[in-house]
Amino acid sequence: MRIAVTGGSGKLGRHVVRRLTDDGHQVLTLDKVASSGERSHLMTRVDLRDYGQVMDALLGLDDRLRDFDAVVHLGAIPAPGMAPEAATFENNMLSTYNVFQAVRRAGIKKVVYASSETVLGLPFDADPPYIPVDEEYAARPESTYSLVKHLEEQMAIQFTRWDPELSITGLRFSNVMDPDDYERFPQFDADARARKFNLWGYIDGRDGAQAVARALEHGRPGFEAFIIANADTVMSRSSAGLAAEVFPNVKVTKELGEHETMLSIDKARRLLGFEPEHTWRSYHSNRTTPTED
């Protein structure tokens, strides 16, 4: 496929671009900054807040790559607290509208974009309705960032209503991690509440890229949202123990595996064939320990 990727130089975007190019797709990244290192793909500098720039890029007016089959939209202020709230709202909401509208005008029929686990009610100062959380209960945004993510999902529903052939998949990514981040994971066990804000979840960037690839392959007309997380938590403590300690009044709807994620990925497994392949535990178990002479 010919795929345009916004935010391809970001933490998740780099993994996504690498996965798509490795899978044999032609990739054009649309971003305000260039990625570091060698590039195996084309790149165009685009301000996603400028509809004209987005439209030009998707129509292929620079003659390098045109007639896109799909768009992967990752470009955004990536987390709460990284910019003033009004700036976060304006940047992220307008950028996503511009991408959706340009896709529609260009006749592109497939979009995969980064929604967020934050729509589920993070940082869970109010208890979740049940554990593991899933896609079945109504969104509970608790920040401007998560409000935008919720509104983007509502916008996607309307865009797919306007064009019944359009497929938009919103991937509610957990906290994106690289292998370099795993060094500090054992420290999390010191305080069970320190990472309760997202139910101790994470997503390895490589598995996030897998989810994007599978959504591009399996996405159907209409809108669907999927929680995307790794199969385990960031903790060495048991998941059942964590739930009992931090959320004693919350119903646990299934018997949890020893370190099973409390961000349910059952829907993504069932409909996308998503299955995480990486875990921080392997990083630590594979580290070599110096031996004494």
Mean pLDDT of 208-221: 98
Mean pLDDT within 205-218: 98
Give the Å distances, CA to CA, from 199 to 34, 98, 130: 34, 32, 11
Identify the pLDDT of residue 291: 40
Interval 81-94 mean pLDDT: 96
pLDDT of residue 83: 95
Rounded-to-integer distance, Cα 86 and Cα 68, Å: 32
Tokens of 55: 């439209």
Q: Which residue has the higher pLDDT, 283 or 58?
A: 58
Which range among 90-99, 138-147, 278-287 shows the weakest confidence by mean pLDDT? 278-287
Instruction: Answer whether CATH 3.40.50.720 is correct for domain 2-285.
Output: yes
pLDDT at 36: 61
Question: Cα–Cα distance between 140 and 144 in angstroms, integer?
Answer: 12
- Name the 3-class secondary structure at 257: coil
pTM reported for the whole predicted model: 0.94
Domain ranges of the chain: 2-285
CA distance 27 to 6: 10
Q: Are 43 and 31 in contact (CB under 8 A)?
A: yes
pLDDT tens track for 11-32:
999 999 999 999 999 999 999 8
**pLDDT more than 70, % of the chain:** 94
Question: Would the pLDDT of 292 be above 90?
Answer: no
The answer to which of 63-72, 180-189, 230-239, 262-271 has the lowest mean pLDDT is 63-72
Which pLDDT belongs to residue 287? 58
**3-state SS record for 1-41:** CEEEEECCCCHHHHHHHHHHHHCCCEEEEEECCCCCCCCCC
pLDDT at position 41 is: 75
Amino acid 239 reads S
Give Cβ neighbours of residue 211 (< 8 Å, ≥ 6 apart): 171, 173, 203, 226, 228, 268, 272, 274
